[in-house]
Chain A
Amino acid sequence: MQIVVNVIVLAALYCLICCGYVLIYRASRVLNLAHGELMTIGGYFLFTVAIGLGNDPVQSFLLAFIFSLALGFIVYFFLMRFMAGESALASVLVTVALGILLRGLITLIWTSQYRHPLQHLGMENSSHQIVEGAVISTFGIAMVISTVLLYLVLFLCFKFTRWGLRMRAVGENPILASQRGISLHMYYALSWGIAAFSVGLAGMIQACDSGLDPDMFVIGLKAFPVVLVGGLDSLGGVIPAAFIVALAEILTIHYISPQASEVAPFVVLISMLLIRPWGLFGTKEELERV
């Protein structure tokens, strides 16, 4: 039973991280390789705000959310906007450079020490028993609930709100969308903002659950196979893919060997590439671009 809980929590983390990859890719066909760094910065925003406000979790989180959202917009308006219309490869390289820049800034501002925002939030990461033999931590619950809420909100917005509709239109055919009066820059910026917010949220929860240090960005890379397995342009595909990869990892830890769990996501990815290269729910045409 504990294994089931562990899979759910890990899958939730992957979903929260990968949501951003898909959003940015679907909107502007850009692969954001600075995603892990945005996650790390989210955690550091929470840490700094928590120290500043002291023992005020609600306000700390809210403020950190705003910072992450703003960072997404800033990254778009001051950097990625100029890559609109350029080749996909050039844009990806720019995100790589952005990642390096962010990593440098993080170490410069916060040093490489391990940080523990939880200490300054006045919260505890206690354990809760769900059923016999299955325990989950407070922030494990937070991870799952956040993911569920975020996906629900995104699905509803994309289906039923006008801006969600326009976001889908921009993702499908930016030229036509532009011709119909839709401001591409606004929707690209929105996708970057939401992506930075969602992955920043993942970083914040991680920081509280497990600790914060500049190397957290590697987790962003680790989540990447999930996106390819689910289909790079499919938000819905992330969910089954996250479960499959999380399940593979955790079963490997228990029944094969713990060190092999590093390889498990890639084994899943390679299998998917052999069977169905565009992912579970991706569109075939997207395959060339990738």
Chain B
Amino acid sequence: MAKPKNETLLSIEKLEVVYHNVSTAVLGVSFEVRNHQIVALLGINGAGKTTTLRAISGFLGVDDAKVTEGLIQFRGEKIQNKPPHFITKKGIVLVPERDKVFENLTVEENLQVSVSLRKSRASGQDFKDLILHYFPVLGKVGNHLGGYLSGGERQMLALSTALVCGPRLLLVDELSLGLGPIIVDELMNLIKVIRDEQQVTVLLVEQNALAALEIADYGYVIENGRIVFAGDPDRLRNHEDIKEFYLGQGERESQKSYRDIKQYRRTRRWYG
């Protein structure tokens, strides 16, 4: 029942998200994620990446924001402005940037809490074995409370609990935030392996473009609520401006003048 590789799983068309009926955070964003791809959505702090993820996962209402224009389609079905549990049921699971595990529950309990969406697939125990296979560290800290884990362990737990749900599309918000480069590499590789072996599609939202591009099949750059560049990793890595603004500077804000930034035009690329 594997879907053909080229089929679009998630498609965002001219998305606009407005906060408090006043400020527009995302202005006409369009991109797509194909089945089994790892897609990276890159941008600095405040570019609109998290807002986009929230729009997809249905958590805009929490911040008094809503999708005012555009479409979000998942497997052909419109899902913008739908409630979170509806979207989770469709198979989209989010690993959030903050509050990603239950702090007062143990690692074991965190893993048990997730509701598996795939009834026809392997049982809960098989999933757990799978998790321990990919994240053996979690087996050692089974009794520790979520709140007392190290940064890396916590991120692993967050990914695991998301995977236990058996998602079709995994959204990961800022995987690398607060983690050292070795751990980040390890986690990125794990995601690639999981994608290869478990047929999960992944949308990575990242400030750390270098790390993300190591595993991504395709990437988009978002700035001030707009997609300004798109392409496969090589294309992104070789583009002068991307190199300067995203690959050398990591989390620091750009120090160029605004005029230079205005050079970016909204572009849209299709597979040729």
**Chain A contact residues, CB within 8 Å of chain B:** 85, 162, 165-166, 168-169, 172-173, 175-184
- Asked whether A178 and B115 contact (CB < 8 A) given A168-B104, A172-B105, A173-B99, the answer is no
Chain B nearest Cβ from A160, distance in angstroms: 10
Q: Are B115 and A182 in contact (CB under 8 A)?
A: yes
- Asked whether A168 and B165 contact (CB < 8 A) given A175-B84, A179-B88, A180-B113, the answer is no
The one of B84, B89, B93, B112 in contact with A165, judged by C-beta atoms closer than 8 angstroms, is: B112
- Asked whether A181 and B116 contact (CB < 8 A) given A175-B59, A176-B96, A176-B100, the answer is yes
Q: Are A180 and B161 in contact (CB under 8 A)?
A: yes
Beyond the given A177-B102, A179-B59, A180-B115, could you list 12 further A-B residue pairs with CB under 8 A, ordered by the A residue number?
A85-B62, A165-B109, A168-B105, A169-B102, A169-B113, A172-B103, A177-B113, A179-B84, A179-B96, A180-B114, A180-B161, A182-B115
Chain A nearest Cβ from B165, distance in angstroms: 5
Give A183 to B88 CA distance when docked, in angstroms: 10
Cβ < 8 Å to A, chain B residues 1-60: 57, 59
The interface residues of chain B lying within 8 Å CB-to-CB of A165 are 105, 109, 112-113
Give A175 to B99 CA distance when docked, in angstroms: 9
Chain A nearest Cβ from B161, distance in angstroms: 6
Would you mind naming 22 contact pairs between A and B with Cβ atoms under 8 Å apart?
Answer: A162-B113, A165-B105, A165-B113, A169-B105, A169-B113, A172-B103, A172-B105, A175-B62, A175-B84, A176-B101, A177-B113, A179-B94, A179-B96, A180-B88, A180-B93, A180-B113, A180-B114, A180-B162, A181-B88, A181-B89, A181-B114, A181-B115
Most buried by A among B59, B61, B85: B85
Question: Is B210's beta carbon under 8 Å from chain A?
Answer: no
Chain A nearest Cβ from B35, distance in angstroms: 22
Give A172 to B62 CA distance when docked, in angstroms: 16
Which 10 residue pairs of A and B lie closest in terms of their CB atoms, listed nearest first?
A: A181-B115, A180-B114, A169-B113, A178-B84, A169-B102, A181-B88, A181-B165, A179-B94, A178-B85, A172-B102
Give A182 to B101 CA distance when docked, in angstroms: 14
The interface residues of chain B lying within 8 Å CB-to-CB of A173 are 99, 102
The one of B61, B109, B112, B165 in contact with A85, judged by C-beta atoms closer than 8 angstroms, is: B61
Cβ < 8 Å to A, chain B residues 92-150: 93-94, 96, 99-105, 109, 112-117
Range, interface on chain B:
20 to 34
The interface residues of chain A lying within 8 Å CB-to-CB of B88 are 178-181
The interface residues of chain A lying within 8 Å CB-to-CB of B59 are 175, 179
Chain B nearest Cβ from A231, distance in angstroms: 14
Most buried by A among B93, B104, B117: B104
A176's closest neighbor in chain B, by CB? B99
A180's closest neighbor in chain B, by CB? B114
The interface residues of chain B lying within 8 Å CB-to-CB of A176 are 96, 99-102
Q: Are A172 and B161 in contact (CB under 8 A)?
A: no
Q: Are B117 and A181 in contact (CB under 8 A)?
A: yes
Give A190 to B52 CA distance when docked, in angstroms: 33
Give A98 to B94 CA distance when docked, in angstroms: 37
The interface residues of chain B lying within 8 Å CB-to-CB of A85 are 61-62
The interface residues of chain A lying within 8 Å CB-to-CB of B105 are 165, 168-169, 172
Chain B nearest Cβ from A282, distance in angstroms: 13
The interface residues of chain A lying within 8 Å CB-to-CB of B102 are 168-169, 172-173, 176-177
The interface residues of chain A lying within 8 Å CB-to-CB of B84 are 175, 178-179
The interface residues of chain A lying within 8 Å CB-to-CB of B101 are 176
The interface residues of chain A lying within 8 Å CB-to-CB of B57 are 179
Most buried by B among A85, A162, A179: A179
The interface residues of chain A lying within 8 Å CB-to-CB of B96 are 175-176, 179
The interface residues of chain A lying within 8 Å CB-to-CB of B109 are 165
Give A173 to B104 CA distance when docked, in angstroms: 10
Chain B nearest Cβ from A175, distance in angstroms: 6
Chain A nearest Cβ from B84, distance in angstroms: 5
Q: Are B99 and A181 in contact (CB under 8 A)?
A: no
Chain B nearest Cβ from A29, distance in angstroms: 14
